[in-house]
Amino acid sequence: MTETVAAIVAAHRAGTMTPAQTVARSYQRIRDHNDPAIFISLRDETDALAEAGRLTDPTLPLYGVPVAVKDNIDVKGLPTTAACPAFSYMPAQDSTVVARLRAAGAIIIGKTNLDQFATGLVGVRSPYGVPRNPVRDDLVPGGSSSGSAVAVSAGLVPLALGTDTAGSGRVPAMLNNIVGLKPSLGLISTAGVVPACRTLDCVSVFSLTVDDAMTALAVMAGPDSADPFSRDRPLGTVAAFPAKVKLGIPRSGQLIFFGDREFEKAYGEALKRWQALGVNLVEFDLEPFYETARLLYEGPWVAERYLVIRDLLASAPEAIHPVTREITAAGSRLTAADTFAALYRLQALRRTAERAFAQLEAIVLPTAPTVYSTAQVLANPVELNSRLGTYTNFVNLLDLCGLAIPAAMRPDGAPFGITLLAPAGRDAELAGIGRVFHADTGLPVGAKALPQPPLAAAPTDVDRDEIAIAVVGAHLSGMALNGELTALDARLLEEAATAPDYKLFALDTVPSKPGMLRIDAGTGASIKLELWAMSPKAFGTFVAAIPPPLSIGTIRLADGREAKGFIVEPAAINGAKDISAYGGWRAFVAGRT
């Protein structure tokens, strides 16, 4: 069944489904599922179908994929409410993340419910109702990104955006048996996102598989001048499972499960699974992480939440959910001295965390220590919400990236998940490790008991300190100039092919070389190539020696990835032979001999 992002895009490219058919299917499923608490607003179906029908570039990485967006993220044409009708406004433009999704071929279909002003991990603090947990309907759906997680789990959309300040992209993922990706701070722009704690907020991704989440992250990542908290950092490429992995686990007795023996057992089983995968588990001290977590709601960061709604608190306090009002109002009582004292302590805790990670790829923790029913949370809203954040509240304060992955089902049908955490910038490394663990569990995805798709071959295995380069001609293995690569200690990664956006020409050079020219998307040929990896220094040396009319540009690959590679100046193809029909330089050379 075409349920994952990867499967949907493949079906669209193959012509077995059209983007319009897939979008129409999402709307029909929303009607059939019949839970009005999932979406706060839906886009007009006719408009969404029309946009899907206008897509013409099948190489787009999210070609025709329906996406739901948490209703604290701006989508032009739909109101932004943050789950507070009195706060609602109509944005003049898309948020940066939504604009990038649209440019990648995604179709936005609606805005999802949330804990009001993204304050909560439970999903019950909204005047728009409580989305039913499709995995086990008595459990809370998780928050604050409740609607987004439920929409993916229930199969209404294959991809949804949340936000994550204290765990809102991870706790709902566990409770709905899906993947939740919490990127490094600043990797995705928050321009056009209603802030919760502006210094800690990030946009998160919900999907059925890790690979789907990374496809979306690659589309959205990148600096943005409209967001002063944006960072210009390379995302990196998801690599094959490393031969030697060290994962940190808390010292004996440090984990808290609030009496949930089944979750404690499930975590132990998850650690055995990691060991079976060849991972070395190393104990570390979790106590400094707990101390950091306490700073989030006991320290001055609650004042950031107060800043967002202070005018509304003053003018119409009854418009704010009573629990949200209670939490945020405390922010008005904090002093500047409180803030600086907390910042000093946080800096010390960050140094402690850095030492913990020095010899580790990541740490692995339960996503949450237990689960609660909606009735339990409504009866004890603050304490039980706080318990769900036991392993999430410290993450953004310590500038970590995170990946929440399903790990098991409790005998009573409650889902259990784990989260991988690492210092900012290691998003792709977490994905490379986490995708293998998730596949190894054999768990069905979401709430529909759909089998996991076969784990795709790992994308390009490029180390963090390497650059991938695509070669199409005389630098191919066994060709005349391949020695220029090997002399710089470059290593072959894989054979691949371009998207059908190029023409290949035989240039009049010595030795013979081809020139690859980019043309309109989908109107050219797919050209075979090789991907090589080299150090940045070697890459600079190599590029500096490339003679005209060749140069290095960005090549789009058939699977949607991009890599630096050889292109030709358009003027140089005048009179050159078009050899695109051969599908690559090696076939052309073989045909001449």
Lookup result for tokens 């290949």: 504
Type of residue numbered 303: A
Is 146:172 a contact under the CB 8 Å cutoff? yes
Which among 542, 523, 524, 526 has a CA at the least distance from the CA of 534?
A: 542
Is 288:394 a contact under the CB 8 Å cutoff? no
**Is cis: bond before 189, omega within 30 of 0?**
no
DSSP 3-state assignment of 497? strand
Is 73:95 a contact under the CB 8 Å cutoff? yes
Is 81:39 a contact under the CB 8 Å cutoff? no
Which among 113, 122, 115, 124 has a CA at the least distance from the CA of 328?
A: 115
DSSP 213-278: HHHHHHHHBS--TT-TT----------PPPSSEEEEEEPTT----TT-HHHHHHHHHHHHHHHHTT
Tell me how far apart the alpha carbons of residues 421 and 244 are, in angstroms, rounded to a whole number: 17
Lookup result for tokens 């986490």: 434
**Structural tokens at position 36:** 């009005």
Q: 77 to each of 64, 92, 248, how far by Cα in Å?
A: 19, 8, 45
- Cα angle 161, 165, 171; round to 5: 70
Q: Give the residue numbers marked as catalytic.
A: 70, 144, 168
Q: Write the burial class of residue 417 (CB in 10 Å: 0-12 exposed, 13-18 middle, 19+ buried).
A: buried
DSSP state of 444: P
Q: 183 to each of 193, 424, 469, 515, how far by Cα in Å?
A: 15, 8, 26, 38
Q: How far is CA 280 from the centre of its chain?
A: 26
